[in-house]
Amino acid sequence: MISDPDPPKETHAMRAGPSQEEIRRHNLGALLRHVHLGGPTSRAELTSRMGLNRSTIMALTADLTAAGLVREELPRETGRAGRPSLVVRPESARVYVFALDVGVDRLVAARVGLGGTILDRREAVRRRGPFSLDEIVGPLAGFARQMHRKTRPDTVCVGVAAAFAGGVSRSDGVIRFGPNMGSVDVPFAEEMARRLAFGLPVTVGNDANLAALAEHTRGVGVGCRDLVYLHGDVGIGGGVIVNGQLLGGHEGFGGEIGHMIVNPKGRPCGCGSLGCLEAEAGERAVLEAAGRFGAQMGRDAVRAVVDAADRGDIVAQAALSRVGDWLGLGVANLVNVFNPEMVVFGGMLREVYLGSAAQVRSRLAVDALPPSRDSLRLRTSALGDDATLVGAAELAFAQVLADPLEVLARAGS
């Protein structure tokens, strides 16, 4: 019995099957993605995991090796007799991207090698509040150029992408809002590309969306097709993976779960509403409830509240209990709406969740529908503060993984 209410797929006519060349390009991308995400892998393993025969794997590997994207080497050690299978590893030192992260508190630029290795990074603390485009683009471009100057001549940059704490329009990469940054309609991507002058476009995504992707591809949510990621920075953002794909919505603004109202007569939010999840469980809510707002801000300040509660500080405990209650209500709503397999707490919400897990769980016990709650896993981010940066790197690698030879040909020209 099939009881799947999934929709009949939208079908289009097929003119003909893909050509041999298209199949080859597809499989080059699939093999490259395999070693990019899975790390060095023996030919034998690739053969079995990809369901292709040995000679095809050899030919694909040879092409990727010739392009300088992977190299083959003998494994360090093999427990077996006979000729060992060569190991295919990504050319992490040679092929790289620039990943940028525009947070509320900090600017980060990193050079990330194929395979996900962070080769170099620069970071600057940023004052909070409204900013000029130049205050962001200037330092990031400077960082990228510094790192670029240090690269060897045989290296190649195949992409640039940025995680931005704001709403990013899918059609043009313009930042349409950033309630905590005072930004409206900022042509960040265009300006960033112009200032870098690497001859490469800059792709941009919402920071929490990209962190969700990162946790899905390299973090705690690997293999999980339905996942809700909550990201606490100053505000609360989110990213939702639905059936293996990031929920973007009509124009790329989906996943703004921080602006789900959980307490309609509650605290004012930066967006103009009352009682958004962000207003009730964001950084300011935690610090105010703990009587610590203003003295110290940021993730360390939130961590200090959790530490104080652990040491028995009653005010801190009450603060986390209050915030955890709203967080739990918000998560229950998301569980009912999405029926996710996993909910991940990232950014400063990792700290908040660790300090209020009992409260969150007791809310879920009351407010989430039992069938959706029963199989749910609650987890904290595996990538921590780097989740947004890792997500940006994956976005930057997307092109080369989709069509390895094409991108390399362009980058090399």
**Which of the residues 230 through 289 are near a copy of itself (CB under 8 A)?**
238, 240-257, 259-264, 271-273
DSSP 8-state class, residue 9: P
Amino acid in position 77? E
**Spatial contact of 23 and 4, defined as CB atoms under 8 Å apart:** no
- Residue with smaller CB distance to a copy of itself, 193 or 319: 193
- Residue with smaller CB distance to a copy of itself, 109 or 161: 161
Residue list 193-212, contact with a copy of itself (CB under 8 A): 193, 201-206, 209-210
18 binds a copy of itself (CB under 8 A): yes
**Spatial contact of 41 and 48, defined as CB atoms under 8 Å apart:** no
Q: At what angle do helices 43-50 and 20-38 cross, to 10 degrees?
A: 120
Q: From CA 74, how far away is CA 238, in angstroms rounded?
A: 43
**Spatial contact of 163 and 152, defined as CB atoms under 8 Å apart:** no
The phi, psi pair for 61, rounded to 5°, reads -60, -40
- Provide the minimum distance between the beta carbon of 343 and a copy of itself in the complex, in angstroms, as a whole number: 11
Residue list 120-149, contact with a copy of itself (CB under 8 A): none
165 binds a copy of itself (CB under 8 A): no
Q: From CA 322, how far away is CA 115, in angstroms rounded?
A: 42
81 alpha-carbon distance from chain centroid: 42
- Provide the minimum distance between the beta carbon of 177 and a copy of itself in the complex, in angstroms, as a whole number: 6
2 binds a copy of itself (CB under 8 A): yes
Residue list 322-381, contact with a copy of itself (CB under 8 A): 329, 332-334, 336-341, 366-367, 369-372, 375
**Residues 391-410: x/- map of binding to a copy of itself (CB under 8 A)?**
---xx-xx--xx--------
How many residues interact with a copy of itself (rule CB under 8 A)? 107
Q: Which stretch binds a copy of itself (CB under 8 A): 5-13, 113-121, 142-150, 286-294?
A: 5-13
Residue list 38-77, contact with a copy of itself (CB under 8 A): 50-52
Q: From CA 307, how far away is CA 299, in angstroms rounded?
A: 12
- Other residues' Cβ atoms within 10 Å of the Cβ of residue 142: 15
Q: Which stretch binds a copy of itself (CB under 8 A): 27-35, 93-101, 295-303, 382-390?
A: 27-35
215 binds a copy of itself (CB under 8 A): no
21 binds a copy of itself (CB under 8 A): no
**Spatial contact of 397 and 99, defined as CB atoms under 8 Å apart:** no
Q: Which two tokens stand for residue 79?
A: 């427990």
- Provide the minimum distance between the beta carbon of 38 and a copy of itself in the complex, in angstroms, as a whole number: 13
**Spatial contact of 202 and 144, defined as CB atoms under 8 Å apart:** no
- Provide the minimum distance between the beta carbon of 357 and a copy of itself in the complex, in angstroms, as a whole number: 20
SS3 222: coil
